[in-house]
């Protein structure tokens, strides 16, 4: 009998350990798995000689097609996507538009070049002058009248013994062969890391067969194959974070365009606009949520009796019964279509709120309602409910009528006339709805922190003749302040990771604009929208995982710091 009980105990213990280790392993393994998926994006580019092209993805293009960019032979050449390149060796190069044939921009190119090749997405030109390789490209959008400019991006020092050169069909990468039978690949994006392979035969022609396959030919016509493997960021993690001068863009920019509209253009993976969007949304949300939730927390934590508190806390928690997808839908279908009016009303309410709320207290007390005894504050929220309703109604009406009196007749029209247009999907709406979503979280944590401070401290202050507000302000709230800050941090983490509201309301435009009337694109929304479409092994997929890890790290760190603060507050309060 005793043995059986012992056996049962031990086996149950084992079962529990097994289950919990599985869980712990799964949760911690999650991070590792994500790192494993994301890691290859940071791999350096490689160049490798192979015997047959089997297993190398990408269609083979004919030699003739890829040859037509050889400028040394021609004086006139038409590029594929509608731009012309004119000239001859020794003459200035001229870029014109092929439909009108009006020269749009003339640029003096080095006249003493030996080889020139198109590179990248038909917008770039690699020119070998002496022993330097120069990279030029178009930029369409800067100059006035949309006149494209030709700009020199980068100059790379290479050997002077280059015999053949070929530009990568998609990226700013060139491959060339030297007279000493060396095959080199230079990535203009990361020019210090050039790849080279020594071969033992003479090479006189080099061709990109596909974005990852190079074919080099000997004078006798034998072909050598090389595989070029590079992630879309060329193995340079800084490209995720720093501004980049992309082909076709006038200046260095932060761009998130993983699936550019032109099929062969270089995908652009700057995570900065997304991080910017995430922070912007989260901070706006805090702006709305912090006063509201901390106000609630202070009231419930300080002035409510235990019994009442047990009723009101869950009531406020009921806001979590509105899942974020519902909040997003409400924002999208009910608020966004009338955003101008909503905003006018909101401004009115916010402006009137403090005034009327304070006045209202005097009204409530001044009416001499006997039950509002000096310290018994339990019922205030309920008693104030009609008043708040009134404030909201009056404030909204005031806001609306105020807006109607603006020149233009509405807030939108007025803002538009002063040069600000409210886009349908704007950050402000995201902030408001997101703020609502994180209010219960902040409230709950902050209230806990306040409530944890022993009430006899406040009683001490009250016994010295403080008003309830003075007592709590001077004694309780300073102790709870770190806890309240922790609450805000957790709320921030929530807001930064929230997905549905952002997907539905932010417009998902990856612009970096401080204006609260513009849309934004957040990391979370990008993950939700792009990951299902991204091929499993693509750079895009990997970059998305990197962003997932960034978001994970952000929330994890914020939560950890908040947790540490909370633990310290708890220790401190326990000692009182």
Partner 1 sequence: MIGLSASMVSTVLLIGSGLFILLVASAGDWLFLSSEPFEAGFLDRLNDVFFAKPNVENGLTGLFPAIVGTLSLVMVMTLFVAPLGVATAIYLSEYARDTWYTKLIRISITNLAGVPAIIYGIFGLGFFVYGLGGQVDALFYADRLPSPTFGTPGLLWAALTLALVNLPVVIVAVTEGLDAVPNDLREASIALGATKSETVFKAVMPAALPSVFSGLILATARAAGEVSPLLLVGAVKFSPSLPLSSRAPFIEFEQKFMHLGFQLFDAVLFARLPPGGLGWVACIALILVLLIGVLNVTAVSLRAAVLKRQTVENPF
Partner 2 sequence: MFEPVNETEVRPHAGEGASMAAVSVRHLSLGYRDNPKALKDISFDIPERAVTAIIGASGCGKSTLLRCMNRMNDLIEGVQYSGEVILDGSNILSPGTNVTALRRRVGMVFQRPNPFPKTVFENVAYGLKLSGVASARAQEEQVEQALRAAALWDEVKDRLDDSALKLSQGQQQRLVIARALALEPQVLLLDEPASSLDPTSTFRIEELIYELKQSHTIIIVTHNMQQAARVSDCTAFMHGGQLVEFGQTETIFTFPSKRETEDYITGRYG
Q: How far is it, in rounded angstroms, from Cα 240 to Cα 545?
A: 13
Q: Which one of partner 2, partner 1, none interacts with residue 237, CB within 5 to 8 A by kind? A: none
Q: What is the DSSP letter of 88?
A: -
The reply on whether position 50 binds partner 1 by CB under 8 A is: no
Name the CA dihedral angle for 319, 324, 330, 332, rounded to a multiple of 10 degrees: 150
Per-residue CA distances from 467 to 95, 236, 374, 382, 523 (Å): 79, 62, 9, 21, 47
The reply on whether position 570 binds partner 1 by CB under 8 A is: no
Q: Which is nearer to partner 2, 79 or 308 (CB)?
A: 308
The reply on whether position 461 binds partner 1 by CB under 8 A is: no
Interacting residues with partner 1 between 494 and 523 (CB under 8 A): 494, 496-500, 503-504
Q: Which is nearer to partner 1, 119 or 296 (CB)?
A: 296
Q: Which one of partner 2, partner 1, none interacts with residue 350, CB within 5 to 8 A by kind? A: none
* Window 112-151: contact mask with partner 1 (x via CB under 8 A): ----------------------------------------
Task: State the minimum distance, in angstroms, from the CB of residue 368 to partner 2.
Answer: 9
Kindly state the helix (H) or strand (E) to which residue 49 belongs, with its residue range: strand 46-50
The reply on whether position 330 binds partner 1 by CB under 8 A is: yes
Q: What is the DSSP letter of 425?
A: S
Name the CA dihedral angle for 2, 7, 10, 12, rounded to a multiple of 10 degrees: -110
* Window 299-318: contact mask with partner 1 (x via CB under 8 A): xx-xx--xx--x-x-xxxxx
The answer to whether 242 touches 236, Cβ cutoff 8 Å, is: no
The answer to whether 66 touches 247, Cβ cutoff 8 Å, is: no
Kindly state the helix (H) or strand (E) to which residue 314 belongs, with its residue range: helix 306-317
What phi, psi does 299 have (nearest 5°)?
A: -65, -50
Q: Which one of partner 2, partner 1, none interacts with residue 317, CB within 5 to 8 A by kind? A: partner 1
Q: What is the DSSP letter of 507?
A: B
Kindly state the helix (H) or strand (E) to which residue 2 belongs, with its residue range: helix 2-38
Q: How far is it, in rounded angstroms, from Cα 182 to Cα 46?
A: 15
Q: How far is it, in rounded angstroms, from Cα 149 to Cα 128?
A: 20
Q: Which one of partner 2, partner 1, none interacts with residue 295, CB within 5 to 8 A by kind? A: partner 1
Q: Which is nearer to partner 1, 216 or 298 (CB)?
A: 298
Q: Which one of partner 2, partner 1, none interacts with residue 329, CB within 5 to 8 A by kind? A: partner 1
Q: Which one of partner 2, partner 1, none interacts with residue 555, CB within 5 to 8 A by kind? A: partner 1
The reply on whether position 27 binds partner 1 by CB under 8 A is: yes
The one among 381, 402, 408, 482 contacting partner 1 by CB under 8 A: 381
Task: State the minimum distance, in angstroms, from the CB of residue 555 to partner 1.
Answer: 5
Q: Which one of partner 2, partner 1, none interacts with residue 37, CB within 5 to 8 A by kind? A: partner 1
The answer to whether 492 touches 286, Cβ cutoff 8 Å, is: yes
The reply on whether position 325 binds partner 1 by CB under 8 A is: yes
Q: Write out the residues near partner 2 by the rule CB under 8 A.
A: 305, 307-308, 370, 373-376, 378, 454, 456-457, 459-467, 470, 474-475, 478-479, 572, 575-576
The reply on whether position 24 binds partner 1 by CB under 8 A is: yes
* Window 410-449: contact mask with partner 1 (x via CB under 8 A): --------------------------x--x---x------
What phi, psi does 399 have (nearest 5°)?
A: -60, -45
Task: State the minimum distance, in angstroms, from the CB of residue 459 to partner 1.
Answer: 5
3-state secondary structure of 287: helix
The answer to whether 304 touches 312, Cβ cutoff 8 Å, is: yes
The reply on whether position 478 binds partner 1 by CB under 8 A is: no
The reply on whether position 23 binds partner 1 by CB under 8 A is: yes
Chain-centre distance for alpha carbon 492: 15
Q: Which one of partner 2, partner 1, none interacts with residue 465, CB within 5 to 8 A by kind? A: partner 2
HEC profile for 198-241?
ECCCCCCEEEEEECCEEEEECCCCCEEEEEEECCCCCCCCHHHH
R_g over Cα of the chain: 33
Q: How far is it, in rounded angstroms, from Cα 387 to Cα 239?
A: 55
The reply on whether position 528 binds partner 1 by CB under 8 A is: yes
Q: Which one of partner 1, partner 2, none interacts with residue 548, CB within 5 to 8 A by kind? A: partner 1
């Amino acid at each position: 009998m005793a043995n059986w009980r012992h056996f049962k105990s031990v086996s149950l213990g084992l079962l529990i350990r097994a289950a919990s280790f599985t869980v712990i392993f799964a949760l911690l393994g999650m991070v590792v798995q994500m790192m494993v998926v994301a890691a290859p994006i940071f791999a350096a580019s490689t160049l490798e000689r192979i015997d047959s092209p089997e297993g190398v993805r990408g269609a083979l293009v004919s030699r003739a097609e890829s040859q037509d960019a050889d400028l040394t032979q021609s004086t006139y050449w038409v590029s594929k996507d509608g731009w012309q390149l004119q000239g001859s060796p020794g003459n200035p190069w001229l870029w014109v538009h092929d439909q009108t044939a009006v020269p749009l921009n003339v640029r003096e190119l080095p006249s003493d070049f030996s080889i020139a090749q198109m590179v990248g997405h038909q917008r770039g030109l690699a020119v070998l002058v002496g022993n330097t390789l120069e990279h030029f490209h178009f930029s369409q959008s800067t100059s006035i009248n949309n006149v494209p400019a030709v700009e020199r991006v980068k100059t790379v020092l290479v050997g002077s013994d280059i015999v053949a050169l070929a530009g990568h069909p998609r990226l700013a990468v060139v491959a060339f062969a030297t007279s000493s039978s060396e095959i080199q690949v230079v990535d203009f994006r990361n020019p210090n890391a050039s790849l080279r392979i020594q071969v033992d035969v003479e090479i006189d022609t080099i061709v990109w067969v596909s974005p990852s396959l190079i074919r080099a030919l000997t004078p006798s016509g034998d072909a050598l194959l090389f595989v070029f493997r590079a992630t879309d960021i060329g193995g340079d993690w800084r490209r995720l974070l720093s501004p980049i001068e992309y082909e076709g863009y006038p200046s260095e920019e932060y761009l998130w365009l993983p699936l550019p509209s032109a099929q062969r253009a270089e995908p652009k993976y700057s995570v900065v606009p997304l991080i910017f969007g995430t922070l912007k949304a989260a901070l706006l949300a805090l702006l709305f949520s912090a006063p509201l939730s901390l106000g609630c927390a202070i009231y419930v934590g300080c002035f409510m009796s235990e019994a009442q508190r047990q009723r009101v806390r869950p009531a406020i928690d009921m806001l979590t019964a509105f899942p974020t997808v519902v909040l997003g839908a409400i924002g999208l279908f009910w608020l966004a279509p009338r955003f101008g009016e909503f905003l006018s009303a909101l401004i009115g309410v916010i402006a009137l709120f403090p005034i009327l709320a304070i006045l209202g207290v005097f009204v409530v007390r001044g009416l001499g309602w006997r039950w509002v005894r000096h310290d018994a504050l339990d019922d205030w929220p309920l008693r104030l409910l009609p008043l708040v309703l009134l404030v909201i109604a009056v404030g909204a009406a005031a806001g609306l009528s105020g807006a109607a009196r603006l020149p233009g007749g509405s807030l939108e029209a007025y803002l538009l006339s002063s040069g600000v247009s409210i886009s349908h999907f704007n950050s402000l709406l995201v902030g408001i709805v997101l703020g609502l979503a994180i209010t219960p979280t902040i409230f709950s944590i902050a209230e806990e922190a306040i409530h944890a401070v022993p009430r006899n401290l406040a009683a001490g202050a009250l016994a010295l003749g403080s008003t309830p507000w003075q007592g709590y302000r001077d004694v309780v709230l300073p102790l709870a302040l770190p806890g309240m800050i922790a609450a805000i941090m957790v709320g921030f983490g929530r807001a930064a990771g929230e997905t549905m509201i952002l997907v539905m309301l932010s417009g998902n435009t990856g612009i970096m604009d401080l204006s609260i009337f513009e849309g934004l694109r957040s990391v979370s929304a990008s993950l939700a929208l792009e990951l299902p479409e991204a091929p499993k092994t693509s750079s895009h997929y990997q970059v998305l995982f990197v962003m997932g890890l960034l978001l994970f790290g952000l929330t994890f760190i914020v939560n950890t710091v908040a947790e540490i603060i909370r633990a310290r507050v708890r220790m401190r309060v326990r000692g009182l």
